[in-house]
């Protein structure tokens, strides 16, 4: 497998959401990531109704299914961990320790192991052991409150901010940072990646703007939250949507010019008191044409414009097609690996594996002898 992380070996203790996304990112970049699935039904995955072929987050790696309660299972995993560069897990604090796979045990076996831990609340703090999901973590960090219209409760931004942006990507960044440091020091370390921390970090600029007095806690009245008439989405004549964002004065002037707007009320641009009325005026303007007509007029210009595409439309857009932003793997359209590398480009990921699909081949490839594999099968451990 090609990619900038080729040669890196990672053991992933399979969970849901952010930890698998981190594993996918590392595998996308060429790391050999082995998924450790458990030999039991994942209740949350069943509730989410994610069929095997649609489990995009499982792409790019082989799967080993093992019963962690059976004798010999922990010894096998410690054998794998002894050869790995990193381990990632997304369980509640203490679960890995109770399994006999905590950081201290793993580092006794492999002092260079980078041990990545993904949780919502973090490994410490009064909420550390409580259950939660993305919406709760971004609520606590302050990242959720600004999202939405002034007359509605905060709107959940799917699970992009906590699980993936503030969770998985933060863990992947931490793993790569620790791997770089480990090559200098020869020592591993534990990464405590919390979605509360990560989503707070994503809100760094907004916290800064509030400190500077240019952001308020009144949702839907600020520059980036839909308060500004020139930074929002609008419905078109065909009930489809467009987005505009000409923050810079010269781009704003161009928008007015191309839209044929000569109303003096649109100046000055940054008069906050005028924003609500100007939003109503722009809504009328954009409602006069279809989305396709606005695309023909504005797309590709400097007015900072794009159509709001749904999940079926986005992969078909000419820009996304030209860049290969999406790929089709086993009939499933999905985002391609990112970012791009000039010298070590990643290859198209392998399809998502069924749990346990590669159990015996993984064990053999990682040096477990034939007799031990047979014993694991005889005891129903694998």
Instruction: Establish whether 85 is a catalytic residue.
Output: no
On the 0-12 / 13-18 / 19+ scale of CB atoms within 10 A, 204 is exposed
Nearest to 152 by CA among 63, 84, 90, 226: 226
Instruction: Establish whether 163 is a catalytic residue.
Output: yes
Distance in angstroms (rounded) separating the CA atoms of residues 203 and 153: 19
From residue 158, give the alpha-carbon distance in Å to each of 136, 147, 161, 309, 335. Answer: 12, 11, 8, 16, 17
CB contact at 8 A, 213 and 140? no
Nearest to 196 by CA among 137, 131, 117: 137
Nearest to 382 by CA among 23, 78, 87, 63: 63
Distance in angstroms (rounded) separating the CA atoms of residues 81 and 62: 16
Number of Cβ atoms within 10 Å of the Cβ of 226:
20
Within 8 A by CB and 6+ apart from 321, the residues are 315
Catalytic one of 133, 145, 192, 317: 133
Catalytic one of 28, 55, 163, 197: 163
Cis peptide before 10 (omega within 30 of 0): no
Distance in angstroms (rounded) separating the CA atoms of residues 84 and 77: 10
Nearest to 329 by CA among 20, 55, 15, 49: 55
Tokens 């905590």, located at residue: 102
Q: Which residues are catalytic?
A: 133, 163
């Amino acid at each position: 497998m090609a990619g900038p992380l080729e040669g890196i070996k990672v053991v992933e203790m399979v969970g849901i959401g952010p930890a698998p996304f981190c594993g996918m990112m590392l595998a996308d970049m060429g790391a050999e990531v082995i998924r450790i699935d458990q030999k039991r039904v994942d209740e949350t995955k069943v509730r989410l109704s994610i069929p095997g072929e649609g489990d995009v987050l499982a792409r790019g790696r082989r799967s080993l299914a093992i019963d962690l309660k059976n004798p010999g299972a922990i010894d096998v995993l410690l054998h794998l961990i002894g050869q790995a560069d990193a381990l990632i897990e997304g369980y509640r604090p203490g679960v890995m320790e109770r399994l006999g796979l905590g950081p201290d045990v793993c580092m006794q076996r492999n002092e260079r192991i980078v041990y990545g831990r993904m949780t919502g609340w973090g490994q410490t703090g009064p909420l550390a052991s409580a259950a939660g999901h993305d919406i709760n973590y971004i609520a606590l960090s302050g990242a959720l409150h600004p999202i939405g219209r002034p007359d509605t409760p905060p709107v959940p931004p799917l699970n992009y901010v906590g699980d993936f942006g503030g969770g998985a990507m933060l863990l992947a960044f931490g793993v790569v940072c620790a791997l770089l440091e480990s090559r200098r020091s020869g020592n591993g370390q534990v990464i405590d990646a919390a979605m509360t921390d990560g989503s707070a970090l994503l809100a760094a600029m907004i916290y800064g703007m509030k400190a500077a007095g240019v952001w308020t806690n009144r949702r839907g009245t600020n520059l980036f939250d839909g308060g500004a008439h020139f930074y929002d989405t609008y419905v078109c004549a065909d009930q489809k949507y467009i987005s505009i964002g000409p923050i810079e004065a010269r781009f704003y002037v161009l928008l007015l010019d191309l839209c044929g707007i000569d109303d003096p009320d649109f100046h000055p641009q940054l008069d906050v008191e005028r924003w609500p009325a100007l939003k109503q005026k722009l809504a009328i303007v954009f409602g006069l044409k279809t989305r396709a007509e606005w695309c023909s007029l504005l797309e590709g210009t400097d007015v900072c414009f794009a159509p709001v595409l749904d999940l079926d439309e986005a992969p078909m857009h000419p820009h996304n097609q030209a860049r290969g932003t999406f790929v089709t793997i086993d009939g499933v359209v999905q985002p391609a690996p990112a970012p791009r590398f000039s010298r070590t480009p990643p290859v198209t990921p392998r399809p998502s594996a069924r749990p346990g699909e590669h159990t015996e081949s993984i064990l053999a490839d990682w040096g477990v002898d034939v007799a031990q594999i047979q014993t694991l099968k005889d005891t129903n451990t694998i």
